[in-house]
Chains A and B, each alone.
Chain A
Amino acid sequence: DGGITQSPKYLFRKEGQNVTLSCEQNLNHDAMYWYRQDPGQGLRLIYYSQIVNDFQKGDIAEGYSVSREKKESFPLTVTSAQKNPTAFYLCASTGRVSGANVLTFGAGSRLTVL
């Protein structure tokens, strides 16, 4: 089935370590996104990429990095510079539905810093 696969589902990290969250899609979507979800704050955009080898910062990019070497893949690295990384991370991609883009989301990755 077509969709977005995020891994790992749960991840624990010690302070000072970098971690990378995987996001893979087989929907042939051009654009991909990373959101962070915290209780009571909704979703906030970290980074997005509209085409391969290109990406832009979202509203809360500090302490994060991404790459887009392949259309199918958009990994997110949470660096040690991110002061409060414990959160639920959602990857999404955009397809075209009746003239307006609709986001398809992965199941998410929950990162906990110990």
Chain B
Amino acid sequence: AQSVAQPEDQVNVAEGNPLTVKCTYSVSGNPYLFWYVQYPNRGLQFLLKYITGDNLVKGSYGFEAEFNKSQTSFHLKKPSALVSDSALYFCAVRDQTGANNLFFGTGTRLTVIP
């Protein structure tokens, strides 16, 4: 069965510093991986995805993620954090049974400190 894990409930970073939000995955074949962001009392918004190809994926709002097959990781990164990046971030993996569902991690709350 596929799953994702987000080992950190909370990440704090100073404005202007680089940020990393961690995600590891477990799948039996090639993974389809996603990052979503949620602002307070809102639905989730798609940031980026990895299907195949380059291990470094670029997405919305200056975010990128690095796929590492040997470490089964898909960490979200941004070179310079903004206060407006403060939100809840979810990693997800696509169901490989053909139903196209997503399995989500438990989320990481990112706080960017001015």
Report the bound CA distance from A110 to B9 in whole Å.
22
Contact among B43, B105, B107 for A105, CB-based, below 8 A: B43
B34 at the interface (CB under 8 A from A): yes
Report the bound CA distance from A45 to B94 in whole Å.
13
Report the bound CA distance from A10 to B34 in whole Å.
28
> Which of B41, B101, B105 has the most CB atoms of chain A within a 10 A radius of its CB?
B101
The answer to whether B105 and A42 touch across the interface, beta carbons within 8 angstroms, is yes
The answer to whether A48 and B99 touch across the interface, beta carbons within 8 angstroms, is yes
A82 at the interface (CB under 8 A from B): no
The answer to whether B9 and A40 touch across the interface, beta carbons within 8 angstroms, is yes
The answer to whether B90 and A102 touch across the interface, beta carbons within 8 angstroms, is no
Interface residues of B in 83-114 (CB under 8 A from A): 90, 94, 99-102, 104-107
The answer to whether A42 and B104 touch across the interface, beta carbons within 8 angstroms, is yes
B45 at the interface (CB under 8 A from A): yes
Q: How many A-B residue pairs have CB under 8 A?
A: 58
Looking at chain B, what size class is its interface with the partner chain?
A: 20 to 34
A67 at the interface (CB under 8 A from B): no
Task: Point out the residues of chain A lying under 8 angstroms from B22, CB to CB.
Answer: none
Task: Point out the residues of chain B lying under 8 angstroms from A105, CB to CB.
Answer: 43-45
Task: Point out the residues of chain B lying under 8 angstroms from A100, CB to CB.
Answer: 32, 49, 51, 94
The answer to whether A103 and B49 touch across the interface, beta carbons within 8 angstroms, is no
Q: Which B residues are closer than 8 A to A by beta carbons? A: 9, 32, 34, 36, 41-46, 49, 51, 90, 94, 99-102, 104-107
Q: Apart from A44-B104, A107-B41, A108-B41, what 16 extra A-B contacts exist at CB < 8 Å?
A: A4-B43, A35-B104, A42-B106, A43-B44, A43-B104, A48-B99, A50-B99, A56-B99, A92-B44, A99-B51, A100-B32, A100-B51, A102-B46, A103-B102, A107-B42, A108-B42
